[in-house]
Amino acid sequence: MSSPFDHEALWTKAKLFLNRAMDDDSRSFDEQALWAALALELLAKAALARVSPLLIAEPNEEGTNLLIATGLVKGDARFTSVRAKTLMARCHKAFKPFDQSEAMKIINGRNEYLHSSGAGFMAIPPQAWWPRYWAQAAVLITALDRDIDELVGGDREPAVIKHLEQNTKNIEQRAEALLERAKQRRQQWLDGTLPSKVAAEWKNGQYLSATLAHSEAATCPACGSAGLLEGDEVVNEEIHYPQANTYGDEEADSDYLDDISVELTIGADYFSCAGCQLVLNGYELIKQVGLDTEFDVEGDADRYIGQEAEYGND
């Protein structure tokens, strides 16, 4: 019997569910989408568990799940994995360009279909739903160092490729529409012909911002004004040390610590421009319009100095 966190077993189960999901002849779209949504969660678990089973283990007070994931506890102990929302958040950070927001729309549709009287998957037509689904599933397949045909079979691979091509086209069209509308809106504002209702909704930079943890000024691709690129995720950290102090006195040591700097590389997830009201909410749109998908900011050097001091006291 395989371990509940074994990534190969999770991959195999995802294959089973997706074969059911792509069975057009005997299943309605809502049933297909249900199996596909379940498979997406399994793919997320497999991709994370392949890195470390600890990434999918639900922490509890006794630490049983973590101990099982490390292999320290065996036998009949029950393993519980983290919630789908946590899985998607971790995949969003670990496997670019996986989109947590898009993935959660799929998961929420599944929950609504199973647990409420809502429309669930039926709110989006199949021809729009599948391209969005495969855009996220394909990222997880790549994270597992697998190919699409390994998941669905060679006979069904062309259908998946078609959905992926359609999704790419949708992103291109969406980005173009947002840019053109922003240009039009700015020109109307400059000409004084902006409809009063739209003018009343015009926001300054403070209210357009997503207030993410980090930000950097960036040139707007629509109007050339100074916009704001934002992100929460720290992709990389670099600590820069000055040349070693040769004097050894207390004042020189203090100057040395003051000169330590930290550079953080941030993954961009949001862009806004007060000049034309353009908002790009998501990595793929930011990449499509040619903005930087990462930017550098200064980190808090005191945090790292403090960690080094604690380490030296062990």
pLDDT digits (tens, 9 = 90+) for 229-259: 999 999 899 988 877 655 455 555 556 666 7
Is residue 312's pLDDT more than 50?
no
138-165: pLDDT as tens digits: 999 999 999 999 999 999 999 999 999 9
Residue 198 binned pLDDT confidence (cut-offs 50, 70, 90): confident
Is residue 310's pLDDT more than 80?
no
Question: Is residue 97 within 8 Å of residue 284, measured between CB atoms?
Answer: yes
| pLDDT number for residue 268 | 95
What are the C-alpha distances in Å from 215 to residues 222, 246, 265, 268? 19, 37, 11, 8
Q: List the structure tokens of 282.
A: 């998501």
Q: How far apart are the C-alpha atoms of 67 and 235, rounded to whole Å?
A: 28
Q: How far apart are the C-alpha atoms of 214 and 233, rounded to whole Å?
A: 9
3-state secondary structure 83-124: CHHHHHHHHHHHCCCCCHHHHHHHHHHHHHHHHCCCCHHHHC
Residue 21 binned pLDDT confidence (cut-offs 50, 70, 90): very high
Q: What percent of the chain has pLDDT over 90?
A: 58
Q: List the structure tokens of 127.
A: 């021809």
| pLDDT number for residue 186 | 94
Is residue 168's pLDDT more than 60?
yes
**Mean pLDDT to the nearest integer, 49-73:** 81
Local structure of 310: helix, strand or coil: helix
- Backbone angles phi and psi of 166, in degrees to 5: -65, -40
